[in-house]
Amino acid sequence: MGIEDRLTSSQRGKIAELHVATALMAQSGGRLSPFVPLSDDHGVDLMVVDKVTGNALAVQVKSWFLAPDKPVKKVQFDLQKSTHAIDGRGAVICALMDPETLAIIMSWMIPLSEVPNVATEQPKKYAMSPSRMANTRDKYLPYRHTSLASLTRAVETLLAD
């Protein structure tokens, strides 16, 4: 039984949120300053402030812990409609995590305004199923990041607008 089986979904989510927050802070050289809201009732896991522009970005973090003995080609991240920002501001960062090293293997950063265009809409949620395969040409490819530096640059770009 791996770590992904012993942790609750809330615990896995918090681990991913903290990893995303520290990665953004470290990779930006301190330019990005993530804050954790006191409550998570609107789907905001992090507020990321750009110290250069003063702009802030609401971020929802979704995670998938990839079991080493269960290789999959696609992963699924669900975004509840009740926590999806109606005005489309903010972003969702979907992090594929290695449960043994707790490293972010791959991520997808999707502006919330674009989620309805790329996700499969279901009655209560948006389901996003990006491929993790290197040769993919799926609709999630423009949002995919295979390094923390790339993810950080994408967040900085979104904050610059």
Q: Where are the domains positioned within the chain? A: 3-160
User: So what's the pLDDT on residue 91?
Assistant: 95
User: So what's the pLDDT on residue 148?
Assistant: 96
Secondary structure (DSSP) of 2-18: -HHHHS-HHHHHHHHHH
Residue 160's identity, in one-letter code, is A
Burial class of 5 by CB neighbour count within 10 A (0 to 12, 13 to 18, 19+) = exposed
The torsion angles phi and psi of 81, rounded to 5 degrees, stand at -60, -30
The CATH number that domain 3-160 falls under is 3.40.1350.10
The torsion angles phi and psi of 59, rounded to 5 degrees, stand at -125, 130
Q: Please state the pTM of the whole predicted model.
A: 0.92
User: So what's the pLDDT on residue 121?
Assistant: 94
Q: Are 91 and 61 in contact (CB under 8 A)?
A: no
pLDDT by position in tens, the chain (length 161): 566 568 888 899 999 999 999 999 999 999 999 999 888 667 889 999 999 999 999 999 999 998 777 778 899 999 988 776 656 679 999 999 998 888 999 999 999 999 999 999 999 999 999 999 989 999 999 999 999 999 999 999 999 87
